[in-house]
Structure 1
Amino acid sequence: MDAGQFCRRPEVVCDDSLQGFLKIGCGGFGEIYRAKHTGWVMDVAIKLLLYKDGSTSSIQREAALMFQGGSPYVMQILGLYEGRLGESRLPLQCGLVMEFMAKGSVSGLLQTLAGPPPWPLGFRMAHQIGLGMNFLHQLSPPLLHLDLKPSNVLLNDSLVAKITDFGLSRMALSASRCSGERDEDEGGTLSYMPPEALQSVNYKPSKASDVYSYGVLLWSIITGKEPYSGAVSSLVRFRIPLGDRPDLTLIDLSETEGLEGLVELMRSCWDQDAQRRPSFLDCVNVTERILEKHQRGISDAVRDVLKHLDGDVCSSLRSVQISRNPQNRERPQDVTGSLPKQETGASDSGTVNRDSFPRPAAPLTPLTPPRTTQRQTSTPGNFVVKERSRRESGNSTGVHISMSNVLGVQIGNNNCMSVIQRSRQRHQTK
């Protein structure tokens, strides 16, 4: 590939090449849509970029940098989008056309697993993210990410990690300066921001800023948790410059070979002194050695996680919880089919245990108004079926089944239940 091909400008993609727009989420820089490109015959993600000054010049200029390919661990930018999402009444909008990542983000994976991934997969993710970031930092000029976090690392069908949203923080900050406004969320995510960014108004981002974020990201992958979960943002903003870091007591270094080396790397990445942090080239040299020790287990780990993500029951049964009333000692009739695992946030239950996979999850908190559906069987141990968003007081008998986003279920033989169908939630693509 010659230099001209490598630095070619991205193609402009318009509505006449796209069909089936479907909104799949909102990112820090705008809405995200999935669509099918009729010419390429493939699904793509359209990330609309919102700018206060309404100008597209900065998008085109920075997208040309982001368009540079060469790493399988950096999200591919396929082109620039200019259109109205297939609706002539909508205003003209612009954004990025990106490859569609079917398995969502690392953040979504940790929530679905309710904890960390199996060790071989976790080590592979750590290495692939380091490789992607090293590629961005090796460009001339270097391309800083400035918002590296689990939701900005996406996964393809084989759970290969790819970095997205690189360079967008700088674009957003430039645009906000043009309008004389500032949005703190556009400059990075608080829990992953380095201490120097929180203690000086004269802070200038550097490669060491991304390395710090990588260190916190490693902690999230190892523990399956969000750093400083439950802490108020003002306290986090105050304590990080004083040296506070995510809780290391949640990590048992004896769990697997190589973990101690990864934790040592993690701590060096979030060093208080930016000058003492390693480069990403140093990081990948460490993660490569660790990954070699777990190479044989990667295929099994990927297969197990994919099986869990795809589900060996109907994926529409998103969240089911069954609890038996202690007063009922007789076993109820069997529920047809196996019960699906719950999809929820990362577990908060202390030290991570990867001996059994997948792990049980805590129930979801519903986002919809309460509805109750109730049916009793004629067999011992009556069933009361109801949405999780409503809890009835008083003594009740039987088995309680709480569920959300359910398309259908059968209890026993010749029984039925009517359920209100809701739109299916999808992983965000960023």
Structure 2
Amino acid sequence: MAAEGLLAEYPELRPFVLPNVRLTGVRIGAGAYGSVEEVAVPGAICAAKKIHDIFLDRSEIPAAEIRRATAQFVRECQLMSTLGHPNIVKFLGVAFFPGSRLPALVMERLLTSLHDLLDPETDPPPPPNTPKPFFPLSLKCSILHNVACGLAYLHERSPPVIHRDLSARNVLLNSGMVAKIVDLGVARIVPRMRTAATMTKGPGASVYMPPEASAPAKSNAQKSKYDASIDVFSLGVVSIFTIGEVFPCDPVTGTYLDEETGLLVARTELQRRAEYMRHVNGQLRACGQLRGDHPLIRLIQQCLHNGPHKRPSIREVLRLLEEARAGARDSGWEEVQAAQTQPRNQAKDRELAEARQQLRRKEEELQSSEREKQTVRQQLISSQRRETELVQAKDRELREKSSQDD
């Protein structure tokens, strides 16, 4: 659907269209539904999420589904335009690019994702036995607290907004390591448009989803009934990844080696969660904070409860994270550990500094380009003004000469 056709059918989308948005050629990332591209808007470098056109292939998908997805896209734009919180990625508008049927969502540009921070995919890969960067427990608690603050803002709106797809990839970080939630509702625009063979059954990535998300529905009316506790469960899994620094195994494809049979067998849900807690306990033991009543252990165990109504409220999650953050700052362990691991952090610091400098250079180039355009526009206006004055002077001269001849 062309831009003008889409805007004619959905005029409520017009207020969100941003002019003068151009792709820089830098791909920030790609996912199941689309890609994230770097874009330049007047005065800033931003990010744009483009949905793959395969999801709008008219040869495979009924027209009614395409209209439903487009209407959902418009509703999500309207929703995101009303959100304003320091822990929610700022939505700036939409932009049309050649070859795309749906506009791209334009958002603020951040430094990295929580997933890439904890488990960076470097090219080429680091040499064997390269020590991992050190991330203080207080920083991890602060990041999780930021995420919980963002969820609290969403859950306490009227009506509540449920993310349904919270993951470490959907938590972005700025240069000050402030976490912000992204992809609100984007995962809901296209899932019903693909077959069961290409889409997960639950609302989000199965690794982060609670049992009720994959339970068979008794009726069509029950298929989409999820409450805010689904996000609390996902936050528990994000906490495991953040604290334990190990990516959660998939409950569907996760396997382990059975020592008795020598075969790869599927992990049960209980085994999966027990493995999570071993990694969390290992990290807490390393920093001298392992105890049974540690607020982080309580937080994760409560968030991962099978019963949705037995999981903590987002306010209780915030309380436990504040307690854990205060304990991490007061332990004194982090100063010692940071001093011991300072050399291994220097490379990471250089990477972050280079990324910040690159962003600043691009912003300066864009501002310089805008100044040059403004100068050219002013010169053009001056030239047109002079030309008009010359034409007017010539006209006056001709009129005066004509009157003299008369």
- The offset of 1:26, in angstroms, is 0.7
**1:181-220 correspondence to structure 2 within 5 Å:** 183-184=199-200, 187-201=203-217, 202-203=222-223, 204-220=225-241
Structure 1 segment 93-242 matched on structure 2, within 5 A: 93-102=102-111, 104-112=112-120, 114=132, 117-173=135-191, 176=193, 183-184=199-200, 187-201=203-217, 202-203=222-223, 204-228=225-249, 232=253, 239-240=268-269
Gaps of 5+ in 2: 1-12, 57-64, 121-130, 257-264, 356-406
Residue 36 of structure 1 corresponds to 40
Q: Distance in 2 between matches of 1:29 and 1:64?
A: 20
Matched, 1:61 2:100: no
The 8 Å contact of residues 48 and 94 in structure 1, kept in 2 or not, is answered as: yes
SS at match of 2:103: strand
Q: Which has the larger radius of gyration?
A: 2
CA drift of 1:311 comes to 2.6
Q: After alignment, is 116-125 or 273-282 more displaced?
A: 116-125
1:78 paired to 2:95: no
2:354 and 2:251 map into 1 onto residues whose CA distance is 30
Letter in 2 for 1:64: Q
Cα separation, 1, equivalents of 2:308 and 2:95: 37
Q: Residues 143, 230 of structure 1: CA spacing in aligned structure 2 closer, same or farther, 3 A cutoff?
A: closer
Deviates most, 161-170 or 224-233: 224-233
Q: 1:314 to 1:159 in 2, by over 3 A?
A: closer
Of 39, 46, 49, the residue aligned with 1:47 is: 49
Q: Relative to total residues, which structure has the larger helix share, 1 or 2?
A: 2
Please name the residue that 2:348 is paired with. 309
Query: CA 1:189–1:92 in 2, change beyond 3 Å: closer, same or farther?
Result: closer
**CA deviation after TM superposition for structure 1 residue 107, in Å:** 0.5
CA distance in 1, matches of 2:45, 2:159: 31
1:278-317 equivalent positions in 2, closer than 5 A: 278-295=312-329, 307-311=346-350
Letter in 2 for 1:13: L
Tell me: CA distance 1:164–1:186, structure 2 relative to 1, closer, same or farther (3 Å).
farther
Partner of 1:245: 273
Which structure 1 residue ranges, 5 or more long, are not aligned?
Answer: 1-7, 85-89, 317-430
Shift of 1:168: 2.2
What is the rounded CA distance, in whole Å, between the counterparts of 1:292 and 1:245 in structure 2?
Answer: 26
Superposition deviation, residue 64 in structure 1:
1.2
Aligned to 1:12: 17
- Assess, with a 3 A threshold, how the Cα gap between structure 1 residues 270 and 133 changes in structure 2: closer, same or farther: same
Q: 1:388-411 deviations in whole A, cap 9, x for unaligned?
A: xxxxxxxxxxxxxxxxxxxxxxxx
Moved beyond 6 Å, runs of 4+: 179-182, 234-238, 296-301, 303-306, 312-316
Q: 1:122 to 1:308 in 2, by over 3 A?
A: farther
After superposition, the Cα gap between the structure-2 partners of 1:137 and 1:308, relative to the gap in structure 1 and judged at 3 Å, is farther
**TM-score if structure 2 supplies the norm length?**
0.63
CA gap of 1:180–1:265, structure 2 versus 1, over 3 A, is: closer
**SS of the counterpart of 2:166?**
coil
Alignment of 1:251-400 (within 5 A): 251-252=281-282, 253-254=284-285, 255-257=287-289, 260-295=294-329, 307-311=346-350
Percent identity among equivalent residues? 27
- Shift in alpha-carbon separation, 1:282–1:117, aligned structure 2, 3 A: same
8 Å CA contact retained: 2:136, 2:334: no
**Structure 1, 126-135 or 221-230: larger mean CA deviation:** 221-230
Report deviation, 1:222: 0.7
Code of the residue aligned with 1:215 in structure 2: it is: G
**Which letter does structure 1 place at the counterpart of 2:106?**
V
The answer (yes or no) to whether the contact 2:251–2:267 under 8 Å persists in 1 is no
Q: Go from structure 1 to structure 2 and tell me whether the alpha carbon gap of 1:10 and 1:313 turns closer, same or farther (over 3 Å shift).
A: closer
Instruction: Look up the SS of the partner of 2:96 in the other structure.
Output: strand
Letter in 1 for 2:138: P
Q: Secondary structure at the match of 1:124?
A: helix
Aligned CA distance change for structure 1 residues 13 and 228 (closer, same or farther; 3 Å): same
**How big is each residue's C-alpha offset from its partner over 1:193-241, in whole Å with a ceiling of 9 and x where there is no partner?**
101122223452211111111111111101111112797259999833x
Q: Structure 2: how far apart are the matches of 1:76 and 1:143? A: 16
AA aligned opposite 1:311:
R
Q: Is the deviation greater in 200-209 or in 148-157? A: 200-209
Q: Tell me, in whole angstroms, the C-alpha distance in 2 between the residues paired with 1:166 and 1:291.
A: 27
Partner of 2:322: helix, strand, or coil?
Answer: helix
Cα-Cα RMSD:
3.7
Distance between the aligned counterparts of 1:44 and 1:187, measured in 2?
27
1:192 deviation in Å?
0.8
Compared CA separation, residues 287 and 162, structure 1 to 2 (3 A): same
TM-score (norm 1): 0.60
Q: 1: CA distance between counterparts of 2:290 and 2:323?
A: 8
Structure 1 residues 91 and 152 mapped into 2: Cα distance closer, same or farther (>3 Å)?
Answer: closer
